[in-house]
Amino acid sequence: MGNAKDENKKYREIQGELTAAGLRFALVVSRFNAFVTERLLDGALDALHRSGAEGGSIDVVRVPGAFEIPVTAQHLAETGRYDAIVCLGAVIRGDTPHFEHICTEASKGIAASALTSGIPMSFGVLTVENLEQAVDRAGLKSGNKGFEAAMTAVEMANLLKKVKGSPSRRAGKRSRK
Ligand code: INI
């Protein structure tokens, strides 16, 4: 028996392409734990260039720490100059509850900024127990989360362009006179 999902397909599938041509990106990178965040930035730039990002289409914006990423991303989104924003940082647990506060504010803040602005923002902020875990995720044993965050930004930028421009939405707007 076939898969019901594939038989008599009565739906459209919508997803974003992984091509960065014609898109503009801002990369917000925190300087705190720069040894790690610079590796994340390398990964993100590699992903954008490999997906066809054009010269002059990428701005790299540096902030002091992960806590400062959300407000910066929100202001960048509000300029209307970017199709997606890649947020890169590294929060490494210390001996105090400071870690939890920075992680929570960075993740909730980035999510809130994306929802408020409508511009996709990808979460390339490592939240880890120690430096070894951070380095593993910044290009050593466990891939490069900066690369992944940039690919997500490319896909989401293309997806939201399609969703915003879909015919039913435009038809809906026309009929609401
Ligand atoms: N910022 C980080 O990006 N990572 C950290 O691990 C970190 N720790 O551990 O303190 C950190 N703190 C700085 C914070 O993001 C702000 O820049 C600072 O509190 C000033 O607002």
Q: Is the pLDDT of residue 168 over 80?
A: no
Each residue's pLDDT tens digit, 68-79: 999 999 999 999
**Residues near ligand 1 (Cβ within 6 A):** 30, 32-33, 64-68, 89-92, 94, 98-99, 102
What are residue 173's phi and psi, to 5 degrees?
A: -65, -40
Nearest CA to ligand 1 atom 17: 65
Classify each residue of 7-44 as buried b or exposed e, where b means 16 or more C-beta atoms within 10 Å of its C-beta.
eeeeeeeeebeeebeebbbbbbbbebbeebbbbbbebb
> How many other β-carbons are positioned within 10 Å of the β-carbon of residue 160?
16
Each residue's pLDDT tens digit, 32-76: 999 999 999 999 999 999 999 999 999 999 999 999 999 999 999
Best residue for ligand 1 mutational test, from 62, 101, 102 (most atoms within 8 Å of Cβ): 102
Q: Is the pLDDT of residue 174 over 70?
A: no
Listed by start position, the domains of the chain span 33-154
Please state, rounded to an integer, the average pLDDT across all residues of the chain. Answer: 92
Q: Which of 3-17, 99-113, 143-157 has the lowest mean pLDDT?
A: 3-17
CATH dotted code for 33-154:
3.40.50.960
Inter-CA distances, 134 with 83, 100, 140, 141, Å: 28, 16, 9, 10
**1 against 53, higher pLDDT:** 53
Nearest CA to ligand 1 atom 11: 65
Q: Which of the residues are catalytic?
A: 98
pLDDT of residue 169: 58
pLDDT of residue 129: 95
pLDDT of residue 150: 98
Among the listed residues 74, 84, 76, 128, the one whose alpha carbon sits nearest the alpha carbon of residue 103: 128
What are the start-end ranges of the E strands in the chain?
25-30, 58-63, 84-92, 121-128
For ligand 1, what atom is nearest to the CA of residue 106? 15
**60 against 96, higher pLDDT:** 60
Q: Is the pLDDT of residue 84 over 90?
A: yes
Helix (H, G, I), strand (E, B) or coil at 121: strand
Find the 125 Cα to ligand 1 centroid distance in Å: 12
pLDDT cut 70: percent of the chain above it: 89
Give the pair of three-digit tokens for residue 172.
Answer: 């809906």
